[in-house]
A and B are shown apart, each in its own frame.
Chain A
Amino acid sequence: MALKKVKGNFERMFDKNLTDLVRGIRNNKDNEAKYIAQCIEEIKQELRQDNINVKCNAVAKLTYIQMLGYDISWAGFNIIEVMSSSRFTCKRIGYLAASQCFHPDSELLMLTTNMIRKDLNSQNQYDAGVALSGLSCFISPDLSRDLANDIMTLMSSTKPYLRMKAVLMMYKVFLRYPEALRPAFPKLKEKLEDPDPGVQSAAVNVICELARKNPKNYLPLAPVFFKLMTTSTNNWMLIKIIKLFGALTPLEPRLGKKLIEPLTNLIHSTSAMSLLYECINTVIAVLISISSGMPNHSASIQLCVQKLRILIVDSDQNLKYLGLLAMSKILKTHPKSVQTHKDLILACLDDKDESIRLRALDLLYGMVSKKNLMEIVKRLLGHMERAEGSAYRDELLYKVIEICAQSSYLYVTNFEWYMTVLVELIQLEAGSKHGRLIAEQLLDVAIRVPVVRQFAVNEMTNLLDTFAVSTQSNSMYEVLYAAAWIVGEFSGELADTERTLNILLRPRKLPGHIQGVYVQNVIKLFARLATTCLELQDMPGIVRLCDHVLEKLQHFNGSNDIEVQERANSACMLIEMLRKQLTQPEEASTGSIPPMAIEIVQEMALLFAGELIPVAPKAQRKVPLPDGLDLDEWINAPPPDDASSTSSEHDKDELFVSAVHDGNDATGGGGGGNGSHSGVKRRKSLELTPEQLERQRMARLIEQSNNPHYLKSTPNSASAAIGNSSNNSNADQYDNIDDIPITELPLDIEGVAALRVGITKRSDKYLKEQQEAAAHSKDAKKKHKKSKKSKKSKNKVAYNSSSESDAEPKIVHIVNTTLDMPEGVTLSDSEDKDGKYDPNDPHRALDIELDMAAFEAPARSSKTASASGKESVNAQIGSAASESMVPETGAMLSKKGKKSKEKTRGEHKTCKAQAQSQPDSVPDLIDTGSSPCRTATDNGNNNNNNNTAPSHVEHSQHLKKKKREKRAHKSSKLTNDEATANTLGSTTIIDVGETSAAHPEGDVSAAVDAKAHKKKHKKDKSQHKEKRTHKSPASEYEQPMGISTPSKEIF
């Protein structure tokens, strides 16, 4: 036996240890994979041996190999063996390996339960500590369930080290095993007042994490946190608490009011930038949550903005970045305050740091006005030309479009300019992923701004002509979709229709859905040209046209894409039909166009006649769902071949949808930019004959007249229909419009009114533009500016006033106005815009981002747990133990608590006598901090008290809590003293903070404080060290290490 042991030790002498492995890997740079494979073989051999030390060595090596990207899960058993060793050395290596390669789904974990329990209960605190550290990385739901009690026991260990780790560990347990939260919560709360600051900090940390996901359950803890905030000197913990308050205030505005003052004090007093920054952030959150005006409201905002300005102008890029980040939060609610710092933000656009430029871009959104939009966009385009990195360029592109399109193009005064910008963006950014976005914009502008169409179609023709589809990886070719649609739809505006037709017919390699649009618009253009020929009685011309188009369409006929093929075939059939009529022998002799051909051309033209009307995406919602209509029910059982049974409308829909099939839902609506207006489609599917249409129309009319919920045609379209009723086919067409529910017409009229106003302003517009053109020197975009028009908004007044004042009205418009939209833009449209920006809000994104599995579970449990939490808070508030705490905090609050008079009055009513001796702040505090707990108790008794009658609730609450308050009253004598003591305390806190700043080598709070000092210090140090290294010869390390020379640099 002894021999064996000796031998084991001998062998170890020859085994590769970790150092040898690392060295070996470094010496085998060229065939590292092979070398490591060989090492893994050796490790496998070692793992087969009995000696635990050998195994331990092997596992240590595996941990290193894992870092290099090799799977080591096959050694799971051996890792567990090493973990279970009684020696701390092995145990630590084992747990480390486990934390690196095990995960909650590892099946092996079920073997470890008892072993880990043994370690947790070990006499040696480091055994338990190592176990906790490891466990925190791989704990599974089963382990959580089985070990929750052991970890909870550790939370009351006598050793702060273990308490601290156990508290943090509990968070992981909650995540995996939500049921543990309820029983553990009281203990966790206790730890907030642990004598050891580390444990306290850990508990704050855990509760912050929990509350981040479900803040309302932790509102009852607000008083405790408030106390911590005003007493603690640990900046790390303060930051966490202040962040937590930031999450709580939206739920309880009264809390926010309380917070403003201490936070403002902190902002003034702290020298720690990190703390200052978090305070500002939370103040912003508070101000956002208090929508009702507070007297000192604007003062706080001013303070924040002022401080942020200091951050932004700081030479430290980190502070600059954070300053801009916080600014963007203020921008959402207080754009005016931010706008005063426009200069600063525009300057940041030129910063060399990309992160900072991106943040400045975010702010730019609120900085634009009609006056400076063109200039800003020009600047952004300039950046785009210079910028490297597609991500940043993409972001720039997106921002250009975002700021131009915001509030329904509120700030765009010249749409020809905007069109030009879009085309420039396309040319500039052929590799961008925002092709679809640009396509939407093109469509949107072309549809909504009729006056720009002539300009647009010609631009689009050029685009179709010159745009080269390079790679399939990017999405820019999507713009061709929009371009083709625009030239087809507004073909009447084209200067040279034939040229455009030829461009579309040119065989090109394009995605199917775009080719489909090409074919469709070829027919439109064909119909347009044929009509022209008809007017000119140009028989040979029309024949030539037919032959030409038929020939070219053959390219599309052979397409792989079924959609393109079908459309091309339909188009061919249609044109061939016409062609056949044209070649009727008897007619051909006369040289005139046969009547049937004329009819066909007219019919074709009618297919595409009519005006598109923007319809708000939410318009459908205004149509009430008829009683008894179940939208989920099959109207007919799903047929195997639904193609034959679907209605003609359905056909149209399909045709339409498949045009945007390729996932291009956003460009849907055949031109609904952003899908913000589903195009009102009035064209017939090609297969329908007039007879069929007539039949359907009659059936529809009957159906509509019987349906009380059906939206009757609005006066506008009705009169239009009447006006055209003489023409049968025209009537058909308008009937089709009628059968699509358009509810937005009243708003539409408003929009038209706006348009009219705009037209009258046109001359002013020219003047304005000339001034601007003179002011802003010529540039490429400007040449388009001669322009006949652009929508002039009602902001005429603003224009006449000084440049500064025109910033004022526009802010108002960001929020609600759509009046200066060219076409009937609906309010719901602007709602949609708002909705679109909101997801950018990081806090909103945060809610969604959470791992749902992990999130839902704690949410479920914490509801129950919060009940326990509330109970415990109740208990705490009621209990004698907490009395000392409550009045004390109350005293601190009392400074501003007195402001809330109605509460005070309520207080007077309930506790008449007490009110004099007892500070007002006690109930005040309770109201604020424990309002959910109050409702909880109310709910216990009766449910009729709710938030709508807060004073009433308070009143009854006071009655209920009289007992408690009496007890509190006992200690109220102390409170006054304590109040002063606390004020003193808070000043001393400040002092402490400042003094700690003087010691860069101190603890973290000091480290935080002394950031600047330390930086310099560090820099000096590292320079110093570098000097030292340069002096010391590189050969200090062993010769084989090739890199040792360069890598022996010191931090």
Chain B
Amino acid sequence: MLRYLVLYGHFVRFSTSKAFEFRVDFFFRIFMDLIYYGVNIVFYQVVFLQTPLLGGWTRDQSLIFLAGYLVVDALTMTIFSNNLWWFPVAVNRGDLDYYLVRPVSALFFLLLRDFAANSFLNLLFALGILTWALVRAHMEMHGLDIAAYLLLLALGAWLHALMHLLVVLPVFWTQSGSSLHGIFYNLVRFMERPDRIYTGWVRKLLVTALPFCLMASFPARMFLEGFAWRLMAHFALVVAGFTVMVLSLWKIGLRSYASASS
């Protein structure tokens, strides 16, 4: 475990110094994400000009949800997104060969080797927005509540990464690269809005088999509406289930790995 932490420390150091080298790109990416954050905040302000409640939440509560979503987004962008983007390429080109001969989990390399330093700054901004949303809501809350919220958001980010991985893993059999991402990027948009705006079987699907509504909405619901065992069990079960499923699929995939010939 310690060894993996030290290795991750190296990844962070290398990725960061690489990111600083291309500084125009670095600042541009941060700027783009900030625009995205701004657009989202304005979106909610506009929605609440028309209605007092959205999915059962007031404007202040919705902003806390939004800030939570932005934290999940920034977390995945910082840690996983770049790596998952390159995942099919690494499998197709045979880069995986070198990871497989090392005495370290190959999945660890594929999922974590690139740390997005620019997104890390955005993560700090997202946490800033969360603080702002919490302060303006004038809610009664404990430090422990906030810590629990952040922890649940981190689990949401992990679920986000798992779903993306699930979508790209078929590359072991299809050998086709980035078309797989499209599925994920379309589905992931369901995470951006409160889960209760969806109803019927769509909602059922979005909290079980395609759990995009769990990633940001469930943590926010537990924070805003109080801890509920049922909700927590649901959330934990889905995260655990997908973890097991994705890891098994990865192992099955490796058995079929043909490795690009040289």
Do A and B form a real pair?
A: no
